[in-house]
Amino acid sequence: MSTKPFRRQLSAWFIALTVMSFLGAGAPPLTHACTAITLKAGDGAVLLGRTMEWGSFDLNGRVIIIPRDHLFKGRTPDGRGGYGWKGKYAVVGTDMLEKEVLADGFNEKGLALGLLYHPGYAEYTGYIPDKAYETMGPTDVAQYLLTTCATVEDVRAAMKKVRVVPVVEEALGFPPPVHFIVAEPSGKRIVIEFLKGETKIFDAPLGVMTNAPAYDWHITNLRNYVNLSQVALPDKRIEDIEFAPLGAGSGMIGLPGDFTPPSRFIRAVAFTASARRTADGPETMYEMLRILDNFNLPLGGAEGSDHGKAMSAMRSSTIWTVVYDTKNMVMYYHTQHNRRVRRVNAGAIDFGRLKGGIITRPLDLKRVQDFDDVKVLKVR
């Protein structure tokens, strides 16, 4: 029997679902499946890592280095100058849209941050022109916090000084709905969200963040999965028959496997809570990357990703994966084009001698996978 009618029905169903999502959200459907996690090594090193998913067009990420004393000005909806500040700390991270807009990074004090998408829930305070001097847009927040704060408590205080308002991002056509996860070298972690016009800061001892809905909802939802365990289920005898679990992993039966933010949040908590013990930052980096590989999203694997002209140069909805070692001051990353892990040793940079403006370079100098050829000797 031909499968073509079924395929046509399935395709029509996906199209209808996409249209309904578009109408319901009031904005184009986008693949926004970013996941952030943290781990702590035996020697106390704290690492923050994230995947950057964006299945609608290439964000053209770059390595970015922001020197000390750089001057910033927050953006406002009407284009007038917003909150201005002078950076205190140098920053290393990634930017997006080739606009020196931080997607994630850490500063010379080891404070690390990740910006993730938060559609349907991020709601910023209203813009008041008379208060433009204390105003900034959503994509100004990461630069503001990393260039002025050394600790999580500094971040809490800094957020009280500014008003984050909806400023349209030209590449999107609407204000980007975002939230942030922040970690310091001591292990303290928080999540910053903008809900119903107010800035909310949550303690985040689990060190995990995905996308919608609000962070506290995700924490409540964990109560539905308290049965999950890395310990296998015991054998069970019914009547005269002995039943044993089929293979390893029975303790994780019920772990959701789809790409929705609630399911990814549960998986991220399960994988980080059951992660192997690691001695130091470099060894923990391996574990971070292995866990984050579980959240890689292929093109077409979620709503909003397609194969139009904007996608022609893309190979994955997971554009890059990055890990920040806040003790050893090293940034590790790989990309959709090259899975080889590259390293930026921020600890070796003399930020005191770094003069001039912001420095950037593409995450990939060549958008191609490099290989180590294995030479096999002929045996005579």
Percentage of residues in the chain having pLDDT higher than 90:
76
CATH of the domain at 98: 3.60.60.10
Name the amino acid, one letter, at 1. Answer: M
Closest CA to 100 of 143, 155, 55, 48: 143
What's the pLDDT score for residue 217?
99
What's the pLDDT score for residue 297?
86
Could you tell me if residue 350 is inside a domain?
Answer: yes
Residues near 76 by beta carbon (within 8 Å), at least 6 away in sequence: 82, 127, 129, 132, 135, 136, 137, 165, 167
Q: Domain range holding 333?
A: 28-213+277-362
Examine the pLDDT at 27 and tell me if it is beyond 80.
no
| Residue with the two structure tokens 């909003």 | 304
Report, as an integer, the average pLDDT of 40-48: 99
What is the DSSP pairing of strand 163-164 with strand 135-136? parallel
Residues near 343 by beta carbon (within 8 Å), at least 6 away in sequence: 330, 331, 332
Joined together, the tokens standing for residue 279 give 């001695």
Higher pLDDT, 55 or 211: 211
Number of domains into which the chain is organized: 1
Closest CA to 90 of 328, 372, 359: 359
CB of 288 closer than 8 Å to CB of 323:
yes
Residue 322: strand pairing partners: 50, 333
| Number of Cβ atoms within 10 Å of the Cβ of 296 | 17
What's the pLDDT score for residue 139?
96
What's the pLDDT score for residue 380?
65
Residues near 19 by beta carbon (within 8 Å), at least 6 away in sequence: none
What's the pLDDT score for residue 311?
56
Q: What radius of gyration, in Å, describes the C-alpha atoms of the chain?
A: 22
Angle subtended at Cα 121 by Cα 115 and Cα 127, rounded to the nearest 5 degrees: 85
Instruction: Give 374's DSSP letter.
Output: P
Instruction: Give 359's DSSP letter.
Output: E
Could you tell me if residue 20 is inside a domain?
Answer: no
Closest CA to 175 of 184, 166, 186, 164: 166
What's the pLDDT score for residue 19?
33
Question: What is the rounded distance in angstroms from the CA atom of residue 210 to the CA atom of residue 2?
Answer: 40
Could you tell me if residue 373 is inside a domain?
Answer: no
What's the pLDDT score for residue 310?
53
Could you tell me if residue 155 is inside a domain?
Answer: yes
CB of 15 closer than 8 Å to CB of 8:
no
Q: What are phi and psi of 243, to 5 degrees?
A: -110, 125
Examine the pLDDT at 300 and tell me if it is beyond 90.
no
Q: At 317, is the pLDDT very low, low, confident or very high (cuts 50, 70, 90)?
A: confident
Examine the pLDDT at 302 and tell me if it is beyond 90.
no
Q: At 148, is the pLDDT very low, low, confident or very high (cuts 50, 70, 90)?
A: very high
Least confident of 195-209, 216-230, 303-317: 303-317
Could you tell me if residue 12 is inside a domain?
Answer: no
Name the amino acid, one letter, at 290. Answer: R
Helix (H, G, I), strand (E, B) or coil at 52: strand
Could you tell me if residue 267 is inside a domain?
Answer: no
What's the pLDDT score for residue 14?
38
Higher pLDDT, 295 or 308: 295
Question: What is the rounded distance in angstroms from the CA atom of residue 192 to the CA atom of residue 65?
Answer: 23
Could you tell me if residue 221 is inside a domain?
Answer: no
Name the amino acid, one letter, at 156. Answer: R
Could you tell me if residue 15 is inside a domain?
Answer: no
Examine the pLDDT at 6 and tell me if it is beyond 90.
no
Report, as an integer, the average pLDDT of 300-317: 61
Examine the pLDDT at 13 and tell me if it is beyond 70.
no
Q: At 312, is the pLDDT very low, low, confident or very high (cuts 50, 70, 90)?
A: low
Ordered DSSP codes for 55-105 = -SS----EEEEE-TT-EEE---TTSS---EEE--S-EEEEEETTTTEEEEE
What's the pLDDT score for residue 55?
66
